Structure 1
Amino acid sequence: MISSLHVIAHATAAPELTPIPKIQGSGTASSLLDKPVTTSGVITGIGSYTDKQGVAHQEFYVQDPAGDGNAKTSDALVARPTGTVDAKVGQAILVSGTVSEYHEITAIDGATISVDPNGTADAKLAPTLLKLPSTETAAATYLEARESMLSGMDDTFVVTPTQSYGTFTVVDAVTHGPNKDYDKHDQASHLQVASGLGERIEVATGDRITGIVGPLDQGQDAYQILLRDKVHVVAGPKPPAMWGDLDGDGSISAGDLAALKARQGSAASGPLDAADLDGNGKVTASDTKLATARAARMASTAPTFSVANVNAENFFDTVDDAHKRDTVVSPAQLEAKVAGLAKLISGELDGPSIVAMEEVENATVLEALLQAPSMQALGYKFELLPGPDLRGINTALLYRAEQGITVSNVRQLQGKSDLGKKPGSDLFARPPLTIDVDIKGPKGMQDERLTVLVNHFMSAYSPGGTPTEPWRIEQSKFIVDAANDLQKAAPDRNVLVIGDLNANESSKPITMLSAAGSPLENVTERYVPKGERYSYTYMGSAEQLDHMFLTKQAADRVQFAGVHHVHADQPAAGSARPTDHDIVETRIEFAPTPAR
């Protein structure tokens, strides 16, 4: 059915044509911008876009089948009619309209589309197989020259699962290999794949995909293939419970170490290979050394208490707070969220002694969480103080009172900054929740005295898209100063700094927390193998956003530290994951009572 004035019809006369490669040119924008043109090509994909007024429109990916033979110019562009056109992939068409650049894609707007009487239909136009260069600058130039062209990747590993908006990230399985990329390293090798033209698929990190084909578009400031054809997916393994535990029994045994040695010199089997402890895509003697050290610490039988961090990702209630930009969820959504978090804390984490939480709206949702049957049996209590965050999300602390844990001196810390709109603005939208925690030690062990600072640093970008690292640097400096002050005031109390710091481990806001002059040590950096050391995945990068720092006296007593990879490598839709963050956990031995 044709439902537009822009009708697919036979042209009455052959117009003067401007070839698509000439419209595209070799630069980042067309030299014919805002000029009227007529061109021809074959439809390789049909999708839609939303204009600045929020109205959805058709868009056609149109490619010159012959091209101009110039590797620096794209042979395709996007045609955007103002109405609806009845057309199909493979048709040869004429397109007349005005050249535009929208979202950095060269297009013909206000397009009139008609059948090309001299064109040849081709529903099986071969895609250009992408071979990404090794640097980001070269990759950007390479992809710009293939903008809108029918493109493909033949054999890939998924390195970021399907996100809520339907996009996942792949790397070439041969040229890149099975290793993960940490902290936004090696971004040039990553390519986004979106389900803009076909059926959405849900894939997980480590899945292997062949036959990715679709037009090359842009989204989220990155190039992406709009998946058009069906692909073949071979599901990868689930993330290991612990790197070094090859047989998955929850420990690193002599058998695991022997298997590691036997695999030395081989490539990792995929991005989630438990044998690749240092995360470089290979199994080497370094991996065996890391696993051996981890096994030795875990062999200790000294009693411990445990600490975990859970970013609860938008843990909102069903009531609209008139003074906040909070999200209002349905009763069913809240029930599902509570069930998921309860299962996570009581099951996967086995009821840690202390749980730091972020993105919690209020006491109402925490009360609902603690009323879940599996949580009631653990005897948790909580502390939460509302803060000034515009969305109404706060930090909180759960603690198992039945284990002899008591809390006191519950307060929020706040600093001032000149980085805001007004000098002397609050440094924290989510002030560190600071609590003195006392844990009763078992017989023959000292009681543990902690001051816990639960943090949720400023997001990586402001709502307007401005990078915010200067804020997080100031926030880190404030935390270091606070830790020093706490140690001076109470030397017998260890300090635990924990939370979602919205920065990866190599960034300045994180490195300065344990730099010279700080009393803190980075627990995950010291004890967790690099391959396991991430808590969030985004656009191909495995990043550690959730961190744990301890003063040295307690850091030296860590028996185990690790990351529970139960969320970040799984697709957002169709899963029961209650949050998009993985969980950092550590088990700390009680200090023995000094001999008299």
Structure 2
Amino acid sequence: MRSSTLVPRPAAVAAVIASALAAGLLAASPAATAATAADPAAATVRIHDIQGTTRISPLVGQPVAGVPGIVTGVRSYGSSRGFWFQDPEGDGRAATSEGVFVFTGSGSTPGVKPGDSVLVSGTVSEFVPGGTSSGNQSLTQISRPTVTVVSAGNPLPEAVTIAAWTVPAAYAPAGDPAAAGSINGLTLDPRRYALDYYESLEGASVRIGDSRVVGATDPYAALWVTVKPQENPTPRGGTRYGSYTSQNAGRLQIQSLAPLAEQPFPKANVGDVLTGTTEGPLDFNQFGGYTLVSRSAVTVADRGLERESTRPQRRKELSVATYNVENLDPSDPQEKFDALGRAVVGNLASPDILALEEIQDNTGAKNDGVVAADQTVAKFVAAIRAAGGPAYEWRGVDPENNKDGGQPGGNIRQVFLFNPERVSFTDRPGGDATTPTGVIRERGKAALTLSPGRVAPGSEAWTDSRKPLAGEFTFGGKRVFVIANHFGSKGGDESLTSHRQPPNRSSEVRRLQQAQSVNAFVKEILAVDRKADVLVVGDINDFEFSAATKALTDGGALYPAVKSLPRGDRYSYVFQGNSQVLDQILTSPGIDDFEYDSVHINAEFHEQNSDHDPQVLRFRP
């Protein structure tokens, strides 16, 4: 069917509906059929009728026929193939989107192109990326479609400009208590809430101008920008996540509609600038929520972000660092070991004590019962030595097989490296996977019963999670206790764009228990010697303002050293365009004069040796 009209006439709509019904492609109610016969124009469903004024279509589960619009973008690859089309007329209401996605299947190539005027028949559905258990919002779409092209080469509907002044500062409305905190049933208020604003444009063509990159290009060819450059900026170009109510409304994910083989995606770092006009449909997906999928090549201007280096420790300063090395095992490329080794020497200035997280066993994720990690650590130590660093010694405790979480078979754990030329380790034998270390008094000072030893490994707080590793060190004749941690992950938490507001952060329960366990152990040390030098370090997997951090500091036992930094520098990880704290070093009251550095060498870059930035603290015991 071909027509020269931009929007199909009622007679054309009626013909398409009739042919679809005759072919058995649509199941219409008797009332709808009668209405179509009596007045075809009255029966025409428009895209804004499908989108409605809430997050859930008022027509969900119902068939629609002959919905008119102009194709604005086609996704011809991946598991969610289809196209977006948009009504160029609209209804003038801010809450109703004029665009919608048509899902054509996981293996079929849509037979349309941008500029086609089409009539679409199918079933209105709500697709939840990641499944209903994810808590994600749903994407309104038309599935099982029948598509008729009326004409080709039509101008695309005018894209809506997303900019600092169009996106509300408030992120989301409070969820409806009667609906378990869901915002799905609330009428959209796009002038008041950012999530409502984006939802009111779901499926429609949008555009942004020059925008700062706040999340580096990831392995899946996506990056994050902000359209609000003054919103919680970091000195290096990111956007800082500083509280549960500072979600940063200007963040937007950017992807390309073209396959990588046809159109390479730029490799951008935080602080780079997305240049020119980027325009395309506004999608919603599992890994970033609202996403602008660009119809044209995405261009980025390099702003030359450099990796940081901390200063060397002075002669009487003890330097303690923590670094999550992201599932390191001997099968990783030598290039990764070499890069990590160079970072320890060049960027971390060869710390005296280095607590490592995510050291895997000698066979990595191969689930073969191996738990020893001596080959992994030896390869890492050799890489540090080859980079000009010290001949580190190391201590650790092998876990029970598959009892500490992480990749099955990987048996990740924490490990201490230390420079024997500067610091000594106090070995107190007997530490194993299940025996807890304790605290005793020794010549009036606190001491560990087992060193290295694990903190409360039998506690429910550490079931299927990495147990803390405690060690006793001596520097300049002074005793220093270091507890290396890797708290439970945020897996299972709902995203900031969840249909529940505030989102459900179920993983916090476990980390709160873990923090209470570590806090209790630190208090045991301080009960023997209130001036003891204790450092709690590692991947806490939680923010400096979180309940877990507050539990660690309970009773004044510890202080989160990251709070000594300027607010803009408080981050060690970048997630969905938010620069945030996950890795921490906390100090006991006896360590009242220190220098802290979050060394930004990974999280802001598309080329990473880990997804975490290491942390360094220097003090005089």
Fold shared by both chains (TM-score > 0.5): yes
What is the TM-score with the length of structure 2 in the denominator?
0.73
The one-letter code of the counterpart of 1:374 is A
Structure 2 equivalent of residue 520 of structure 1? 558
1:314 partner SS: strand
Residue 223 (structure 1) aligned to one of 283, 290, 305: 290
> 1:128 and 2:160 equivalent?
yes
1:473 partner SS: helix
Distance in 2, Cα, partners of 1:385 & 1:376? 27
Residue 506 (structure 1) aligned to one of 545, 548, 552: 545
Deviation of the 1:301 alpha carbon: 6.5
Structure 2 equivalent of residue 565 of structure 1? 600
Distance in 1, Cα, partners of 2:391 & 2:478? 19
Query: For residues 67-146 of structure 1, what are the structure 2 equivalents within 5 Å?
Result: 67-82=90-105, 83-103=108-128, 104-117=138-151, 121-122=153-154, 124-130=156-162, 131-137=166-172, 138-146=193-201
Structure 2 equivalent of residue 578 of structure 1? 609
Distance in 1, Cα, partners of 2:455 & 2:558? 18
Q: Cα RMSD (Å) of the superposition?
A: 2.8
- Name the stretch that deviates more: 381-390 or 36-45: 381-390
Structure 2 equivalent of residue 3 of structure 1? none
Structure 2 equivalent of residue 192 of structure 1? 253
Residue 515 (structure 2) aligned to one of 469, 476, 479: 476
Distance in 1, Cα, partners of 2:471 & 2:316? 23
Q: Is the 8 A contact 2:345 2:388 kept in 1?
A: no
Structure 2 equivalent of residue 438 of structure 1? 474
1:194 partner SS: strand
Q: Is the 8 A contact 2:282 2:291 kept in 1?
A: yes
- Matched length: 486
Structure 2 equivalent of residue 42 of structure 1? 70
Structure 1 equivalent of residue 271 of structure 2? 206
Distance in 1, Cα, partners of 2:307 & 2:110? 50
C-alpha distance 489-340 of structure 1, shift in aligned 2 (>3 A) = same
C-alpha distance 81-389 of structure 1, shift in aligned 2 (>3 A) = same
Distance in 2, Cα, partners of 1:37 & 1:488? 71
Residue 318 (structure 2) aligned to one of 301, 305, 328: 305
Deviation of the 1:78 alpha carbon: 0.9
C-alpha distance 399-507 of structure 1, shift in aligned 2 (>3 A) = same
Distance in 1, Cα, partners of 2:93 & 2:59? 18
C-alpha distance 578-337 of structure 1, shift in aligned 2 (>3 A) = same
Distance in 2, Cα, partners of 1:175 & 1:543? 17
Deviation of the 1:416 alpha carbon: 5.9
Deviation of the 1:302 alpha carbon: 6.3
Distance in 2, Cα, partners of 1:227 & 1:565? 30
Structure 2 equivalent of residue 360 of structure 1? 359
Distance in 1, Cα, partners of 2:301 & 2:584? 33
Identity among equivalent positions (%) equals 27
Deviation of the 1:540 alpha carbon: 2.4
Distance in 2, Cα, partners of 1:368 & 1:400? 16
C-alpha distance 462-234 of structure 1, shift in aligned 2 (>3 A) = same
What is the TM-score with the length of structure 1 in the denominator?
0.76
Structure 2 equivalent of residue 266 of structure 1? none
2:415 partner SS: strand
Distance in 2, Cα, partners of 1:58 & 1:538? 26
2:617 partner SS: strand
Q: Is the 8 A contact 1:427 1:475 kept in 2?
A: no
Deviation of the 1:11 alpha carbon: 9.8
The one-letter code of the counterpart of 1:162 is T
Distance in 2, Cα, partners of 1:61 & 1:520? 53
- Name the stretch that deviates more: 154-163 or 402-411: 402-411
2:452 partner SS: strand
Q: Is the 8 A contact 2:533 2:588 kept in 1?
A: yes
Residue 481 (structure 2) aligned to one of 431, 444, 451: 451
Query: For residues 55-74 of structure 1, what are the structure 2 equivalents within 5 Å?
Result: 56-74=79-97
Structure 2 equivalent of residue 261 of structure 1? none
Query: For residues 178-577 of structure 1, what are the structure 2 equivalents within 5 Å?
Result: 178-179=233-234, 180-183=239-242, 185-197=246-258, 199=263, 200-210=265-275, 211-219=277-285, 220=287, 222-238=289-305, 241=308, 303-318=316-331, 333-362=332-361, 363=373, 364-372=375-383, 373-374=385-386, 377-387=389-399, 388-390=403-405, 391=407, 392-408=411-427, 409-414=451-456, 424=460, 426-427=462-463, 429-439=465-475, 441=476, 447-462=477-492, 467-489=506-528, 493-515=532-554, 517-526=555-564, 528-553=565-590, 555-558=591-594, 560-571=595-606, 575=607, 577=608
Gaps of 5+ in 1: 1-9, 51-55, 243-249, 252-297, 319-332, 418-423, 442-446, 591-596
Distance in 2, Cα, partners of 1:450 & 1:128? 59
Deviation of the 1:178 alpha carbon: 4.7
2:587 partner SS: strand
Distance in 2, Cα, partners of 1:505 & 1:107? 40
Deviation of the 1:135 alpha carbon: 0.8
Q: Is the 8 A contact 1:308 1:352 kept in 2?
A: yes
C-alpha distance 550-433 of structure 1, shift in aligned 2 (>3 A) = same
